[in-house]
Amino acid sequence: MRVDLTETMGPSPTVVRSSDFAEAMSVLANGVVMVTSWVDGRPWGITVSAFTSVSAEPPTVLVSLWSDTASARALQEVGSFGVSILGRHHRAAARHGSRRGASKFLERFADRNGRGRSPSVAGALAHLDCDVTEQVQVADHTIFIGRVRNVRTADGEPLVYFRRAYRALAPYAKPSTRRRTPCLSS
C-alpha cells in the first residue's frame, strides 16, 4: 500500500526554515543504524537517523529514506531490508553509509557469515531482518514499515549521533538491583 500524505495534510499555517528545523533535530540524540539491502547482488547500506520501533506485537519498525536514492529503490524492488544497530566501534561504517552521492556498497564492513536474509554490518549490536509491509510517501521521503522476521544481538556499547557528530556513551555498569523502566509510549 502506498499513501501520499502531502495532499491530505494541506499547507502549513506558519513557515519554518529548514535550517532551523535541522538545528532543532540535531539536539535529539539518536542511536546510529544502517539500513541494508542487496543492490546488484552486493551488500548495500545507508546510515539513517529516522528509524524507530513501531510495535512489539507483532515486531514492527519504520525507516524513512529520501525517495530518490538507490537505497529507497532497492527496498521497493526487493521488498525487504535489514537494520544493523551500530556500536561505538562502527564510526568508519557509519561515515561510509552517510556520504552523499557516494556508492554505499558494504563489502568491507559486511558480516561475511551471511546468516540473515539481509546483509548485516559485522559486529553490529543487533541486526533485524524485515519485510516491507507498507510504504508511505511524505514530502521527499518514503517511510518503509517493516515486519521484523529475524533478530540477532551482541554485546557492546552504542554509537550515538548528537549535534551532527558521532559520539559514544560512557561505559555502562550494570547495577544488580536496578529495576527496568518501561518505555512510556509502550
pLDDT, tens only, 25-52 = 766 668 899 999 999 989 999 999 899 9
Is residue 114 over pLDDT 70?
A: no
Residue 123: predicted pLDDT: 95
Task: Name the nearest CA neighbour of 83 among 39, 118, 134.
Answer: 118
Residue 126, domain member (yes or no):
yes
CB 63 within 8 A of CB 146: yes
Q: What is the CATH number of the domain that holds 157?
A: 2.30.110.10
How many residues are listed for the chain in this entry?
186
Is residue 106 over pLDDT 90?
A: yes
How many structural domains compose the chain? Answer: 1
CB 30 within 8 A of CB 48: no
C-alpha distance across the termini of the chain, in Å:
26
Question: Which residue range(s) make up the domain with 7?
Answer: 2-11+24-168
Residue 164, domain member (yes or no):
yes
Residue 176, domain member (yes or no):
no
Task: Name the nearest CA neighbour of 148 among 170, 126, 178.
Answer: 126
The proportion of the chain whose per-residue pLDDT surpasses 90, expressed as a percent, equals 59
Residue 18, domain member (yes or no):
no
Question: What is the Cα Rg of the chain in Å?
Answer: 17
How would residue 171 be classed by pLDDT, with cut points 50, 70 and 90? confident
